């Protein structure tokens, strides 16, 4: 990050699923090649889905990524994040100390339970909501309040907590250094669009452009009279150790 060195490249189509798949593949290759394990990953909101955040947290990688959250309300009522989650009792608790549960009785109906998409719905009692003094702030146009909870809601909350730290603000600034790598590729190296057709050919083309970009970075830090190998020892010691191994 200090020198903006490209350690891995994978060209994919402009589809969110393909881009997320490339992020999952590159950390493993970098670890096998350079024995480097990232402490955090900085991305934009497109990578803030629940499964992606869960994949990062399971591998001890801090997700410095904005969370994709479509549960926000525009009518001024409370959002789902305004309710307290009680994992011991598997329920939400509102500010009036009322519980929102997924199940309140045993039922043999197979339609009850999770919807098969990793989403569970928690509901409050209708009689409780009708008599609640905060109904106008909670469920103004509904008889009772309900909240949907995703399967990876715990990891989503981890990403939300990271977004409140000072390190997250620093990461968003450092992300600009990575985005700036595309400007020389387009303006100086003339890579405004791939010259070869097909994903595989475009991937091979970017594997040739990335070393050229790294050599330009190395030339800026290498003083006159030194050969690149001597500069590599001082600036990129990890790469030099990997070569010796």
- Domain harbouring 229, CATH code: 3.30.420
Q: Tally the domains of the chain.
A: 2
* 158 found inside a domain: no
pLDDT digit string (tens) for the chain, length 245 residues: 566 788 888 777 777 777 777 788 888 888 888 888 888 988 888 888 888 898 899 989 999 999 887 766 777 788 888 889 898 888 999 988 999 998 877 655 555 555 556 788 899 999 999 999 998 888 888 889 988 888 888 888 899 999 999 999 999 888 877 777 777 776 666 766 667 677 777 777 778 888 877 887 777 766 555 555 555 445 445 444 544 44
Helix, strand or coil for residue 147? strand
Distance CA 204, CA 213 (A): 15
Cα–Cα distance measured from residue 27 to residue 22, given in angstroms and rounded to the nearest whole number: 9
Residue 21 placed within a domain = yes
Helix 50-58, helix 153-162: angle, nearest 10: 80
Q: Same structural domain for residues 175 and 240?
A: yes
Distance between CA atoms of 20 and 48, rounded to whole angstroms?
A: 10
**Same-domain check for residues 225 and 111:** no
List residues bridging with 100 in a β-sheet. 92
pTM above 0.85, yes or no: no
91-93: strand order across its sheet: 84-86, 91-93, 99-101, 119-123, 146-150
Task: Say what the pLDDT of residue 165 is.
Answer: 93
- CA 175, CA 1: separation in Å to the nearest integer? 9
Range of the domain at 133: 80-151
Domain boundary residue, one of 151, 174, 201: 151
Residue 101 covered by a domain: yes
């Amino acid at each position: 990050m200090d020198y903006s060195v490209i350690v891995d490249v994978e060209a994919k189509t402009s589809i969110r699923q393909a881009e997320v798949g490339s992020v999952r593949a590159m950390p493993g290759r970098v670890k096998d090649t350079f024995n480097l394990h990232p402490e955090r990953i900085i991305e934009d909101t497109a990578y803030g889905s629940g499964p992606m955040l869960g994949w990062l947290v399971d591998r001890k990688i801090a997700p410095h990524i904005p969370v994709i959250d479509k549960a926000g309300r525009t009518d001024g009522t409370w959002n789902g994040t305004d309710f307290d989650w009680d994992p011991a009792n598997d329920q939400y608790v509102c500010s009036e100390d009322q519980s929102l549960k997924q199940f309140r009785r045993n039922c043999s109906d197979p339609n009850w339970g999770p919807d098969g998409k990793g989403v569970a719905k928690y509901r409050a009692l209708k009689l409780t909501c009708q008599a609640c003094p905060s109904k106008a702030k909670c469920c103004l146009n509904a008889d009772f309040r309900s909240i949907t909870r995703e399967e990876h809601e715990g990891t989503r909350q981890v990403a939300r907590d990271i977004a409140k730290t000072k390190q997250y603000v620093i990461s968003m600034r450092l992300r600009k250094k990575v985005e700036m790598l595309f400007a020389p590729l387009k303006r100086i190296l003339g890579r405004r669009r791939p010259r070869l057709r097909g994903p595989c050919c475009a991937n091979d083309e970017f594997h040739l452009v990335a070393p050229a970009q790294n050599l330009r970075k190395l030339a800026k830090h290498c003083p006159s009279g030194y050969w690149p190998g001597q500069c590599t020892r001082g600036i990129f010691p990890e790469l030099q150790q990997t070569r010796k191994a």
